[in-house]
Structure 1
């Protein structure tokens, strides 16, 4: 599939828009996987499908001699969100959209794959591409791909995440902890229902749940080192049936984000202590289901310096930033627990494209795709 640089970038935009029109949820990326495999095979890559579910692994050797095997990863899954954009490439699947940029990740890695295949005589070593399913839904696709051998023989791994909150075509990363451990919990507070005018005869689950929502924030504000980033957010709260009935129970869901193993363990223990004390104060019972999700994304020093150096060389110092950690989570963390590597952000926002990730109006500045293709190519070939 030989072509000019311009033709490759035009195809990348076309691929991204196709994937945006036809998104697939985590663990259901059958057509996306087939789309990726078909294009890789046409480019001349050795392709293995069904890796860790719907994952695709592709290998290619350079013509310049032996060397390291560099792995590059893109995630493929979409989210259960209704697309509200008016773009001609808006999702055609009701209630499903690419609201986190994974369509761009997949398209950019396909673009890098095409360039790597076209120029294989000029680079040495080998490259492995990982097109991963199910990043958005724990336990995620990374562990399953690792178990299916995706990292066997890999010396270093790199991954790019398009980020709408950073200016388009800028590069952001840092050594050490870059993204948070992402844990989740579901809880049920059980009180005693009653008449809205006779609260003394009831145990009000709404009031108790509300106290817990406020009290649990003391873990962040008063029980953890203020230098360490920690987040506890309640995302769902459901209780009651009508205006004059005191609810007998309430249910809520939340997430806990931490950066160190110690903070992670402490937050879980302290959350249940606060829940137990709050319920005990009012005479209520509780059920707590707390699930540890992805670990923190911790970049390795040398690969991170390589990313920063190549980015400055390609894009200029003004467009490269050593950034602060973000409290979002990513199962790329599992790859970095096995082999050296670096995860990084490419800015994809502008004055018009600025909706946050996981928002129904999310979109990207497509100029960021070219930045991503260039950087992925450099990471694979400049040894």
Structure 2
């Protein structure tokens, strides 16, 4: 990415260790529009069978390679139009989106958004029909937090459970009880998700271990609910641990904040989609409980994070993201580039 931008005559700067910022500066310009693509892959094995499939242990199962390709194409086109552009353009190639706190905050802290007036980003979406654009105002993606609990009991032979304080059984009940927080402690109309996705214990089938750890993700939109979640989870785990005679440790970490699209910027994106692809170009699906590091850029400048549909059942590009069979309908990626180009030029003019 860095080398390609340099070949285009675009000044670059390394940020957040493996991130790249590209500066297409226009002399005399009074505005700067930022365009962002994330670059990181996921630690999983690809099963698409594609000739360019990633080697074992790494896969672009969320489309970030598409985002990078789209933005590089946009950089190539805009670099050729440098003398005609109404504004400077900042290209943000971000690392570590999949792993909060991620690369966005680090790049912002290192100055990638300095002097930026508006910022736009896109994400391919396999569950949206190919070619459709999704751009909606307000809170569109959730706060994301991470909890890890370690239950500390007493080990024993599997044949003598009465001599143990079984941390696996205690953790199991704690996990079940935590699931009731959403259904019994939170308003039914308040979006919230608690998913315990990892559990680890033991070294052999016939040994009751000393400890059992589990880890999960918590998603909310409300700031007050987000703040109360650690207390509610701790209360439940403490009660279960006490009943079993076990002890526990809990680590709760805040991740990305909710992504809130600016209403006016959303209007620009929607109009661009209609202008480029017709009156039926848009699709609406409402807020989602996924999370996005793009929220960090929106704290600094107004903007919009929108989606480009790439799902086509006939082409088998409708597998969910983070799935080993995930792939995209490449025939519509040009639409993402067209959107970025139109936004850079039109919003650059103010």
1:215 pairs with 2:180 = no
Shift of 1:301: 1.3
**Corresponding residue for residue 374 of structure 1:** 338
Aligned partner of 2:5 among 20, 23, 40: 40
Larger relative contact order (C-alpha < 8 A, sep ≥ 6)?
2
For residues 207 and 7 of structure 2, the distance between their equivalents in structure 1, rounded to whole angstroms, comes to 64
Give the number of equivalent residue pairs.
345
Shift of the alpha carbon at 1:61?
A: 4.2
Aligned to 1:182: 144
Q: Which of the numbers 303, 327, 342 marks the counterpart of 2:304?
A: 342
SS of 2:219's equivalent in the other structure is strand
Tell me how far 1:103 sits from its aligned partner: 0.5
Gaps of 5+ in 1: 1-35
Q: Distance in 1 between the 2:193 and 2:132 partners?
A: 27
Distance 1:216 1:368 in 2: 42
Residue 355 of structure 1 is matched in structure 2 by 319
Q: Which deviations, in whole Å up to 9, do the C-alpha atoms of 1:331-374 show, x marking residues without a partner?
A: 11111111111111111111111221112222111123111101
Distance 1:43 1:271, change over 3 A: same
Residue of structure 1 in register with 2:15 after alignment: 51
Q: What TM-score does the superposition give when structure 2 sets the normalisation length?
A: 0.93
- Indicate if the aligned counterparts of 1:233 and 1:255 stay in contact, CA closer than 8 A: yes
Give the SS at the match of 1:216. Answer: helix
Tell me, in whole angstroms, the C-alpha distance in 1 between the residues paired with 2:305 and 2:346: 17
Select which of 107, 121, 139 maps to 2:69. 107
Q: Partners in 2 of 1:193 and 1:118 — Cα distance? A: 68
Alpha-carbon distance in structure 2 between the residues aligned to 1:245 and 1:116: 63
TM-score normalised according to structure 1 size: 0.86
Match of residue 328 from structure 2: 364
Contact 2:6 2:12 in 1 (8 A): no
Measure the CA separation in 2 of the matches of 1:137 and 1:368.
28
Distance in 2 of aligned mates of 1:155 and 1:340: 7
Aligned-partner Cα distance in 2 for 1:374–1:60: 18
Counterpart of 1:13 in structure 2 is none
**Which whole-Å deviations, capped at 9, do the CAs of 1:126-158 have from their partners, x for residues lacking one?**
211111111122221111111221111100001
For residue 321 of structure 1, give the secondary structure of its aligned residue in structure 2.
coil
2:32 counterpart residue number: 69
Q: Deviations over 1:109-138 (max 9, x none)?
A: 011112212233443122111111111222
Confirm or deny: 8 A CA contact 1:52 1:147 kept in the other structure: no
Q: 1:139 to 1:214 in 2, by over 3 A?
A: same
CA distance in 2, matches of 1:330, 1:305: 21
Question: For residue 59 of structure 2, what is the aligned residue in structure 1?
Answer: 97
What's the RMSD between the two structures over aligned residues?
1.7
Deviation at 1:193, TM superposition (A): 2.3
Q: Is the 8 A contact 1:191 1:204 kept in 2?
A: yes
Question: Aligned pair in 2 of structure 1 residues 198, 37: CA closer, same or farther (>3 Å)?
Answer: closer
Residue of structure 1 in register with 2:91 after alignment? 129
The answer to whether the 8 A contact 1:75-1:131 is kept is yes
Q: Which residue does the alignment assign to 2:242?
A: 280
Q: 1:241 to 1:44 in 2, by over 3 A?
A: closer
Asked if structure 1 preserves the Cα contact closer than 8 Å seen for 2:178 and 2:233, the reply is yes
Q: 1:52 touches 1:146 (CA, 8 Å); kept in 2?
A: no
User: Cα distance, 1:197 vs. partner?
Assistant: 4.1
Secondary structure of 2:255's counterpart equals strand
Matched residue, 1:332: 294
Please, which runs of 5 or more residues in structure 2 have no aligned partner? none
Distance in 1 of aligned mates of 2:345 and 2:107: 24
Query: What is the Cα deviation at residue 248 of structure 1?
Result: 3.1
Q: Secondary structure at the match of 2:283?
A: strand
Distance, in Å, in 2 between the alignment partners of 1:230 and 1:269 is: 15
Q: Partner residue of 1:225?
A: 187
* In structure 2, C-alpha distance between the alignment counterparts of 1:85 and 1:325, rounded to whole Å: 29
Residue 62 of structure 1 and its aligned partner are, at CA, apart by: 5.2
1:310 matched to which residue of 2?
272
